Amino acid sequence: MRKQSKKQRQSILKETIDEKPFITDEALAKDFGVSIQTIRLDRMELGIPELRERIKSVATHQWNEEVKALPIDEVIGEIIDLELDQRAISILDITGEHVFSRNKIARGHHLFAQANSLAVAVINDELALTTNADITFTRQVLEGERVVAKAKVVRTQHRRTIVEVHSTVENEQVFTGRFEMFRSNQDKEGDES
């Protein structure tokens, strides 16, 4: 991008964030050819909150009333997309609390918890319990990486729902899981997706 005035940059920055609310300051800095600090200052002047606050705001307003099987704040990671009994997406930024101190590799139970809680959240029922899980870790995840988990409801039959979750870091698969979920109601019984 060619050099712009501050006013032009801030105008385009606002449009960009409106179109892609989950874009990081780092990605914006790279796109605009400026420092991360410049992006942060521009956001502050425009009254645009940081990424984590934008995600929480969207999740709270959009899905707080929709997620039935567990409180939204018990989902590991931040839900950024949800269509009950269809699909869901969450993101989890791996920080020091998620990794082994010796090698900075994420502990597997955090990746599992993100995927499993997303599989629960996507169920349109007051009760959703994991009865079985077939999981595979396909590569190590390191501190500082962002894990995007995508859940898809595959089938619902006889109070059982199969949810597949694929987790990636920068479009590289790091985890897959197939979760068999028990649900208390039979409203969706016999559906094949």
Instruction: Dump pLDDT digits (tens) for 153-179.
Output: 999 988 899 999 999 999 999 999 999
HSE, side-chain direction, 13 A CA sphere, residue 21: 13
CA dihedral of residues 65, 70, 71, 73 (deg, nearest 10): -120
Q: How far is C-alpha 102 from the chain's CA centre?
A: 27
Amino acid letter, 27:
A
Q: Which CATH number fits domain 6-48: 2.130.10.10, 1.10.10.10, 1.10.260.40, 3.40.50.300?
A: 1.10.10.10
In the predicted model, what is the mean pLDDT of residues 14-32? Answer: 85
* Predicted structure pTM score: 0.67
The fold adopted by the segment(s) 62-183 is Thiol Ester Dehydrase; Chain A (3.10.129)
Question: Domains of the chain: which residue ranges?
Answer: 6-48, 62-183
